[in-house]
Amino acid sequence: KIRTELGWKPSVDLEQGMKQTVEWYKNNRQWWERVKTGEYQKYYKQHYG
C-alpha cells in the first residue's frame, strides 16, 4: 500500500537488510550487552522517565 500511495520503496531488500542488521549487532557488542544487563533501562528511565 505504501508503494502505491506514496511511491516509497526500501533502499535495501529484506535479505540484505537482515545481513546488515546482524553485522551491526556483531560490531556493536558493547551496546547490546549493556541493554541485556539492565544498564540501558536505568539510563532510559533517568532520561525519559
Query: Residue 1: is its pLDDT beyond 90?
Result: no
3 within domain boundaries: no
Tell me the residue range of the domain where 39 lies. 12-48
In a domain, 35, yes or no: yes
- CA gyration radius, the chain: 17
Structural domains counted in the chain: 1
Grid cell of 35 as nine digits = 541493554
**Predicted local confidence at residue 40, as pLDDT:** 79
Segment (H or E) for 10: none
Residue 40 lies in a domain: yes
Name which residue leads in pLDDT, 20 or 8.
20
pTM: 0.60
What distance in Å separates the CA atoms of residue 28 and residue 41, rounded to the nearest whole number?
A: 18
CA–CA separation, 21 and 6 (whole Å): 26
Q: Report yes or no on 4 lying in a domain.
A: no
In percent, the amount of the chain with pLDDT more than 90 equals: 51
